[in-house]
Amino acid sequence: MAYDGKIHITYSLNNIAYYYQYNGSTWTGSYNVSNSGTGLSPRIEMLTTQSKVYVVFNSSSGSAKSRELTLPSTWGSIQTLYSNVNQPKVAGFGVDANYMYLYYSDLYNISPDFYYTFHTNIILKSNYQTVSYLYESYNYTDFVQTTTTANNKVHTAYTWFGILGDGYQTLPYEPGLVIQTWNNGSIEGENVEVNYNLEYYYNVEVSSTSNDIFVLWKPQNSSTLKYRQYDAAPLAPNNYAVSVYRSETNYYPRLSWSLNNEPDVRGNSSNAYKIERRTRPISGQWSDWSTMANLSGTTSSYIDYSISNATGGDKEAEYRITAIDIGNNPSPAQSVTIEYGMNIAEKIKVELLVSNYSLNQNYPNPFNPSTKISYSIKEEGFVTLKIYDILGKEIVTLVNENKPAGIYETEFNASSLPSGMYIYKIQSGQFSDVKKMLLTK
Amino acid sequence: MFKKIIVLLVLITSIVLSQSWNDIKTTNISLANANYAEMFSNGFGNNVILQNTNGSISYYLVNASTGLAGNAITVETSGASLAQITGEAEKIYVLFKRITK
C-alpha cells in the first residue's frame, strides 16, 4: 500500500498482480499489472514518487518485472529487471528521481554445496537498464524495507545473516541489522549497523519524514519492539510569508509558515522556531540580528508588536526563521522583508496618486523669473529633469538622482536667462516626456 | 584571518556531527500477541499498528524522541488480517482485509 493523495494498493489474486486506487470515497483504476501469472514467491512491491506508482513483482518465468503507472491512469509496458537467475526472490526495491534499486536473493545449489546470494541492481528508470550491481554471497536476505528521504536519497534497511551449507551442516554467520544509503545511483558511505548484538532481527520497518529516518524492529530474544532514529537537520519551514495584522488603528508585521513535518520539531516545546529580526532605513545599513522569539513546534505564526505602521514607509525590517529539532539541529534559514514607518492610510493615498508617471505643465506659465515644475514617479528609479533652450542646448539640470515613487515639485529660476521659449524634459527608466514654457521679462 | 577560519571549521563540524543516529530506544509495545507490526512516520510521530493474532488491530503513536507509545487504540476488534498503514503529514490510513461478519 502507498499514498500520495490517493491510496494505492496491489494484491495477488489467482496468482496475478492487480492494482486499485482509492480517492477517499470510491475505489477505481482496477488494473491487471502482471498480465500473466506471477512466479515463485508471488511477491508484489509498490512505491510512489513524483506522481508515479512503481510495481515490482516476481514473474512466472523466474525473472523480476516492473511496471510504471503515470498518474492518474497511464500504465507503461512491463519491464524485465532480471532473468535467468536461480530461484530468485524479490526482496524489495527503492526509487529516487532517476534510479530504481532492486534487491533480490537467489540460490546456488549444486549438491552438496548450497548458498544464497543477496543482489542489488541499480536500474536507470528512463530505460530500465541495469547500470551497476552489488552482491553479497552467503547472505540469505529475502526482505528489505526502503524509504526515500526529501534529499532524494534511498535508505534500505535489511537484516544481514549468512547461511552456508556444505552438505553436512548449516553454518550461520554473524547476523546484523544495517541501513544502506543510495545517492543518485551511487552507494553513500559504508552500511550503518543500526544494531550490532549478534542476534537475529525480525519485523524490520523503516520510515522517514523529511530527512529523518526511523527504524523499528523486534529483537531475537525479546518481544518488545525497539526503535532508532537518524536525526537529520530539519527542512526550512515552508510557505514562510509576512503580512499585516491590524489592531485598532495600527498595523504590525505578521509572520506565518507551515508546520514542519519532522516529529522532533513538532515535539520541541520551547525553541522549535527561532525568529530573528534586523532593520534599516531604506537603502541604509542593516542593524545586527536580534532574536525576537523562540516558539514551540506547534506554533505557525508570530506578530511583531514592536514595529508600528507596517506595510510601507522609509524603513525596512527583515525577519529570519529557523526550525530547530529536539536534537538541536537547525534548518536552513528563510527570510522575508517588510517596509514600515508610514501610516497605512497615507500609504494608500500615495499609491492611489502615484498610479503612473507624469510631467505636469509648469506654473505659472508664462513666468518671470521663476516657476514650479511638478512630476510623479511610479516606481523607484533614477530621475533627470533638464532645461533646454529652443535650439536644444542644455541650460541646467534640475534633478539628477535616485528617487522613490512619489509626487515631486522643483523650482526653476531663470533670472539670468533672456526671455524666450524653453523646453524641460524628464527621464526615469523607460519614461520620458517634454514640455515647453515661456519666460517673459 | 586564521582565527576566522578556525571558528568557521568548528561551526561546520558541529553542525555535521549533530546529525547522527540517536541511541536505540526500547518501546513499550510488545509483539508477544501479534503477527507483525507496521510503521508510518509523519509529523505526529511514528504511527505503529499491530496485526494481532486474535484478528484485532491495535494502533500506537510512538513519540519520536522517547520511543514510548501512548495507550493503544483498537482499530478493529476481530476478523482482520493483512493490516497495513500509510498516510501523509496530517493523516494516516489503515487498510486491512476483514472477514465478512
| Residue A141: CB atoms within 10 Å | 22
Check if A261 contacts B (Cβ < 8 Å).
yes
Q: Is the pLDDT of residue A171 over 60?
A: no
Task: Return the closest-CA partner of residue A261 out of A239, A291, A294, A293.
Answer: A239
Is the pLDDT score of B27 beyond 60? Answer: yes
Per-residue pLDDT tens over the stretch A377-424: 888 889 999 999 988 899 999 999 988 777 788 889 999 999 999 999
Burial A235-265 (b: 16+ CB within 10 A, else e): bbbeebebbbbeeeeebbbbbbbebbbbbbb
* Cβ neighbours for A388, distance < 8 A, ≥ 6 positions apart: A394, A395, A422, A423, A424, A425
Q: Which residues fall within 8 angstroms of residue A393, CB to CB, at 6 or more apart?
A: none
Closest CA to A339 of A262, A226, A253, A419: A253
ipTM value? 0.85
A307 and chain B in contact, CB less than 8 A: no
In three-state secondary structure terms, A82 is: strand
Burial class (CB in 10 A: 0-12, 13-18, 19+), A398: middle
Task: State the sign of the Cα–Cα–Cα–Cα dihedral A255, A256, A261, A266.
Answer: positive
CA nearest A307: which of A320, A295, A316? A316
Mean pLDDT to the nearest integer, A100-104: 93
C-alpha–C-alpha distance, residues A200 and A166, integer Å: 22
What pLDDT does residue A158 have?
Answer: 87
> Exposed/middle/buried for A159, CB within 10 Å: 0-12, 13-18, 19+?
buried
**pLDDT higher than threshold 80 for residue A257:** yes
Pairing of the two strands A129-137 and A163-165: unpaired
Residue contact B48–A216, C-beta within 8 A:
yes
Each residue's pLDDT tens digit, A104-161: 888 777 777 777 788 899 999 999 999 999 988 777 777 899 999 999 999 999 887 6
For the segment A51-75, the average pLDDT, to the nearest whole number, is 87
Q: Which residue of B has its CA nearest to A3?
A: B87
Q: Is A362 helix (H, G, I), strand (E, B) or coil?
A: coil
Interface of A with B in 7-66 (CB under 8 A): 7, 9
Question: Under 8 Å CB-to-CB from A275, ≥6 apart: which residues?
Answer: A255, A291, A292, A293, A294, A295, A302, A319, A320, A321
Picking from B18, B61, B55, B19, the residue whose alpha carbon sits closest to that of residue B39 is B61
B contacts of A326 (beta carbons < 8 Å): 65
Q: Which three cell numbers stand for residue A313?
A: 514607509
Instruction: Give B21's DSSP letter.
Output: E
So what's the pLDDT on residue B14? Answer: 43
What is residue B3's predicted lDDT score, i.e. its pLDDT?
A: 41
Least Cα separation, residue A45 to chain B (angstroms)? 13
Chain A nearest CA to B12, separation (Å): 12
Instruction: Return the closest-CA partner of residue A231 out of A151, A156, A329.
Output: A329
* pTM summary value: 0.76
A218: its cell numbers: 523486534
A209 to B43: CB separation less than 8 angstroms, yes or no: yes
Condensed to tens digits (0 to 9), the pLDDT of residues B49-78 reads: 999 999 999 999 999 889 999 999 999 999
Contact pairs from chain A to chain B, CB under 8 Å = 129
Mean pLDDT throughout A13-27? 87
A195: β partners: A177
**Which of A113-122, A265-274, A356-365 has maximum average pLDDT?**
A265-274
Residue B6: pLDDT band by 50, 70, 90 thresholds?
very low
- In the prediction, which pLDDT does A162 show? 58
Cα gap A169→A157, rounded to integer Å: 29
Dig out the grid coordinates for A337 from the structure: 522583508
Report whether pLDDT(A180) > 90.
yes
Nearest to A235 by CA among A150, A315, A122: A150
Q: Residue A69: pLDDT above 60?
A: yes
Q: How many CA atoms lie within 13 A of B55 on its CB side?
A: 9
Beta-strand runs (E) in B1-101: 20-21, 25-30, 34-42, 45-52, 57-62, 73-76, 80-87, 92-98
Nearest to A263 among B23, B31, B45 (CB): B45
Average pLDDT (A195-209) is 86
At A42 the pLDDT is 54
Looking at residue A114, what is its pLDDT? 72
Is residue B11 over pLDDT 70? no
Contacts of A212 in chain B (CB under 8 A): 41, 64
Between β-strands A7-13 and A16-22, what pairing exists: parallel, antiparallel or unpaired?
A: antiparallel
Band (pLDDT 50/70/90 cuts) for residue A247 is confident
Band of the pLDDT at B16, cuts 50, 70, 90? Answer: very low
Q: How far apart, in whole angstroms, are the C-alpha atoms of residue A92 and residue A160?
A: 14
pLDDT-above-70 percentage for chain A: 92
Whether the CB-CB separation of A304 and A252 falls below 8 Å is answered with: yes
pLDDT one-digit tens code per residue, A280-331 = 998 899 999 999 999 999 999 999 999 988 877 889 999 999 999 999 999 9
CA A221 to each of CA A192, A224, A262: distance values in angstroms, whole numbers, following the listed order: 22, 9, 31
pLDDT score recorded for residue A277: 98
- Residue whose entry in the numeric block shows the C-alpha cell 538622482: A401
The residues, any chain, with a CB within 8 Å of residue A221's CB and separated by 6 or more, are A199
Q: Is the dihedral of CA A365, A368, A372, A373 positive or negative?
A: positive
Percent of chain A residues past pLDDT 90, beyond the cut: 52
Q: Is the peptide bond before A418 cis (omega within 30 degrees of 0)?
A: no
**Interface touch A207/B44, C-beta < 8 Å:** no
Scanning the structure block, which residue is given the C-alpha cell 511583531?
A304
Residue type, A22: Y
Mean per-residue pLDDT, B77-89: 92
- C-alpha R_g of chain B: 20
CB A338 within 8 A of CB A316: yes
- Asked whether residue A206 carries a pLDDT value surpassing 70, the answer given is yes
pLDDT of residue B29: 97
Express as a percent the part of chain B with pLDDT over 90: 71
Between chains, do A1 and B21 touch, taking CB under 8 Å as contact? Answer: no
Check B26 against A224: CB less than 8 A apart.
Answer: yes
Tell me what pLDDT residue A2 has. Answer: 86
Q: Whole-angstrom Cα distance, residue A151 to residue A153?
A: 6
Contact flag A264-B65 (C-beta cutoff 8 Å): yes
- B7: pLDDT confidence band, cut at 50, 70 and 90? very low
User: β-strand A358-359 against A334-340: which pairing, if any?
Assistant: unpaired
Whether the predicted pLDDT of A214 surpasses 90:
yes
Q: Which of the two residues, A387 and A200, has the higher pLDDT score?
A: A387
How many Cβ atoms are within 10 Å of A217's Cβ, its own excluded? 25
Rounded mean pLDDT of chain A?
87
- Least confident span in A158-172, A329-343, A355-369: A158-172
